[in-house]
A and B are shown apart, each in its own frame.
Chain A
Amino acid sequence: MEDFDVIIIGGGSAGLAALKHISALGKQAILIESGKEIGSKNVSGGILYSKNKEYGQVHNVEDIYGQKFLEEEPYERRITKYILNATSKDKVCSIDLTSIHDFQSNFGCSVLLNKLNTWFAKEAQEEAQKQGGGIVTGVHVKNIKWNNENTPIELDGGKQNSSTYDNSLIVETDELEEFRSRAIIAADGVNSEIASLLRAREKFSPDQLYQGVKVVIKLPEEIIEKRFEIGPDEGAAHLFSGDISLNQVGGGFLYTNRDSISIGGVYHLSSLLENPVEPDQLVNSLINNPLVKDLIQDEVPIKNIEKNLSKEEQTKKSFTISKLIRTWNELREIYYSPKNREKTIANGKFKSIEEIKDKINTTRRRLVEEFNTKFVTNYVELEYSAKVVPDGKRCMMNKPYYKNVLFVGDAAGRGIFLGPRIEGLNVGMDDAVRAAKTIIKYIKNNLTDPNIGEIYSQSIHESPYTRDMKKIDKDYLKVLLKAVKKIPLEDLGAKNNFLIRCMSNDFLRNFAVSTINKVGFYKFLSFVESPKIYIDIPILLAEKLGRKINTSTKFDIPELSERISKLKYYEDNNSHIIVTKPQIEFMKKMTVLCPTKCYSIEDQNVVIQHEGCIECGTCSKETSWKHPRGEKGIFFKYG
């Protein structure tokens, strides 16, 4: 049997950071990813932060990947504008929360995970190969067992008894022969199979999860900059709460990418289960908001082919029109992007910007005049995606290990959800470096230290991110209150007004925060994360203080079936999900809450058709849920 020191399971941002760091420290590590390519299974809402924390040091992306990350810019845009919008019908009240975004941060950038993780993989792979390690894709780990289950890790009077100690793990996959490893970093995401297999933690319950659903929308680069009033090196992030949430606890988001926009919602799964709403409807309600409409609309050509032509003629026409539309789109991508323009003019394809503009106009004219194509105001969707997000303050693993298996990032339930502040990527990457450092010590100890898990756990508890998941930061609250102070609050009712005034007082606020932290702030969550705070107050704000936005734009929003048909899958004949409790209430609600409608009811039993599954994990709690076999399942092109 082949033998390795360290295996990392899962090629997301956290797993890759672990690989990069272990390799950079000169040791061999191998990362195993089940997707056909790195990045193909990853989805993110959005923002990767680099933090400058007050209570201890964190390992940021540029610490792991060096200056190269800042130079090659595998991210989308640096966010320089962070705005919270309270909505009610056509009224929107916008509050600038850029100070919250900037709080203890070096920078925060919007990302599309396929691109980002592909870049991380390139860097990590290069480093790993120097040490004889690397990345292997298309392999799905299905089981882990200890070489000798009868030899548990035992401490002999506080010291290890290494003579009886056998810590080697045997890894079974769907694709390869078994192999042995002396330590594992489990970075297999929020629906961690490794955690379930080892019973290292309970599966996350709806109360501990948020469901995020997103669409990526196409919009040319400089149009984005004009719309959002940002420069070429800037980006905007908008958060939404109020009536767009269709009475759910949670909110919407909109991030500018380089030449696309990520838009979606993140809602508490308990809230969704209480009052099920189709996830795509939550996205649609945001897209239909007048402010959003104004921000994302674009000119969209609509093919129009006369039905009275012969079939052959119709096909021919359709081919020609498609080609012209493609040309028109490509030219616009060049015209509205300074980099592309420069490149195209440099390689002599066009002489000047004007010439490109001319070509766009003539193509458009041809489409309209010769082919009867209509140009309408609409928007273009590129990809629909979903994932569940762990709410760290409710579900982070207190001891993120099991024997010599260390859990990092989402797999350990580590995500920060504090009102308008959502972080996951940077937390996972920080965990990964802590795990990597622990592993290096472990290797130096001849891979025998049974305390490896405890050492890692201590390091995790020293992380400022862990503190964020446990305690309210009084400085953060101060910044938040300062940001909302500008709003005239008289109209919000005496009770709310009184509360905010009290909290604005330094003494009262600090007293309240320390009391809450002492008691345990998770006890106050039902108050903070309540429909009142997430829905009622924003609606009130919007109605009393919001500006009215008039828009006559009507969007042709794609049906769910159209969204699914655009996705790329590598189909597996076997379902990776098995319905084990077909009659319980939870499963019945899945017929509404599954983002791709995989569930339906037949003869009072809930049944699954797994083909459209995008592996979000919403149904994971009450099903037998596994990742598809290697290379199979959804393939996200944007993520």
Chain B
Amino acid sequence: MSLNVAVIVKLEPDFSEGNISYNADGTLNRAETKSKLGAHSSVACLAAFYAKVNYGANISVATMGPPMSEIALSEAQSICDADSLHLYTDRIFASADTLATAEVLKKGIQKMKENENENNNGIDIIFSGHRASDGETGQTGPQTAWKLGYPFFGNVIDYHLNLKDRVVTLKRLVVLNGMDNIIEEIESPLPVFIALDPSYKPSFTTLSSRLKATIFEKNAEKKVANFKSYLKMFDHNSLELDPKEVGLSGSPTIVYKVERIPKGKMNRKAEIIDGRDRNQIKNIAEKILILNGQYGRS
């Protein structure tokens, strides 16, 4: 019984030190900042990898963005040993909001149905990350699911499949009566759209599945060395998209104005202590002792 999995990912700025660059006004300098596969996207890839190791899934990774987004696809392939990489790139896709992005992804994922192997009844599971880290755009996933007519499950922390009955059992975090982190267990027939909670970690709990995972990891390494041969590019023509429904013209969102968040006023004074200076340590220890005395602790 075959299983077809799609992962949608995003190329994001690398916010780590030494890679990020700022403009004079403090905004992000996108041209100078390096880019990489988003952290949430890599969690989605891990979930797909789990399906590969445990259920022999056929994995396609997709992203929409400029041609350089292929970096994200190759990084995704190195995590999940993907079998095909799809890049939706077209000048008219630029400046898309989440809805217009979802339109492209929908068509792309529908295309996967047609393009993949014969005994294929479409994509069974679509994985996405929780949200992007360079914008509050956690709605791309749900919108794509809605457009495709897939049931959507967010904040998923674990899942298992019953391939025979084509049913997924998944656990997700919910808030109930103001209580955080309640785990809800859901059973759903395939296909489904799953957005992973950032805390998701694939649970390979048997030695043989761990061994199998190492073999797939090695495969992935080999594939990535030659990732372009797995890469397929699509523009609005090949996706049969109406130019009016994508990019800026397909985006109902209107950004009226962007306000910079004003810097908060500092109301405490910090003192920097050099740990190598014994006197400074002595001083701070004395201060702590005095404070403790004030609050009546011994």
Taking beta carbons and an 8 Å cutoff, which residues of A are in contact with B?
2, 4, 30, 32, 125, 129, 132-136, 139, 175-177, 179, 559, 561-562
Contact = CB atoms under 8 A, between A and B. Distances in A.
B214 A135 contact: yes
Contacts of A562: 276
A544 to B, nearest CB: 40
Contact of A2 (B208, B215, B218, B276): B208
Contacts of A134: 211, 214-215
Interface in B177-213: 204-208, 210-211
B264 to A, nearest CB: 16
A133 B211 contact: yes
B275 interface: yes
A136 B214 contact: yes
A562 B210 CA distance: 37
A96 B98 CA distance: 74
Contact of B276 (A136, A139, A179, A561): A561
B214 A176 contact: no
Shortest 8 CB-CB distances between A and B: which pairs?
A: A136-B210, A134-B211, A179-B207, A177-B205, A177-B206, A134-B214, A2-B208, A176-B207
Interface in B252-283: 275-276
B55 to A, nearest CB: 18
A139 B205 CA distance: 10
Contacts of B207: 2, 4, 30, 32, 136, 139, 176-177, 179
Nearest to A135: B214
Given A134-B214, A135-B214, A176-B210, 18 more contacts: A4-B207, A32-B207, A125-B214, A125-B218, A129-B214, A129-B215, A136-B207, A136-B210, A136-B214, A139-B207, A139-B210, A175-B205, A177-B205, A177-B207, A179-B206, A559-B276, A561-B276, A562-B276
Interface of B: 204-208, 210-211, 214-215, 218, 275-276
22 contacts: A2-B206, A2-B208, A30-B207, A30-B211, A125-B214, A125-B218, A129-B218, A134-B214, A134-B215, A135-B214, A136-B207, A136-B211, A136-B214, A175-B205, A176-B207, A176-B210, A177-B207, A179-B206, A179-B207, A559-B276, A561-B276, A562-B276
Contacts of A177: 205-207
A176 B205 CA distance: 5
Given A559-B276, A561-B275, A561-B276, A176 B206 contact: yes
Contacts of A2: 206-208
Contacts of A135: 214
A235 B275 CA distance: 39
A134 B214 CA distance: 8
Contacts of A4: 207
Contacts of B215: 129, 134
A559 B207 CA distance: 43
Contacts of B218: 125, 129
A284 to B, nearest CB: 15
Nearest to A126: B218
B292 to A, nearest CB: 16
Nearest to B211: A134
Contacts of B210: 136, 139, 176
A561 B218 CA distance: 39
A135 B210 CA distance: 9
Contacts of B204: 176
Contacts of B206: 2, 176-177, 179
A176 B213 CA distance: 14
Contacts of A125: 214, 218
A562 B218 CA distance: 37
B28 to A, nearest CB: 16
Nearest to A173: B207
A133 B214 CA distance: 10
Nearest to B21: A319
Contacts of B211: 30, 132-134, 136
A132 B205 CA distance: 18
A561 B276 CA distance: 8
B216 to A, nearest CB: 11
A139 B207 CA distance: 9
A175 B211 CA distance: 14
B273 to A, nearest CB: 13
B77 to A, nearest CB: 20
B277 to A, nearest CB: 11
B221 to A, nearest CB: 11
Contacts of B205: 175-177
Contacts of A32: 207
A518 to B, nearest CB: 50
A119 to B, nearest CB: 16
A2 B275 CA distance: 52
A133 B208 CA distance: 9
A176 to B, nearest CB: 6
B272 to A, nearest CB: 11
A179 B208 CA distance: 10
B8 to A, nearest CB: 28
Nearest to B215: A129
A134 B216 CA distance: 12
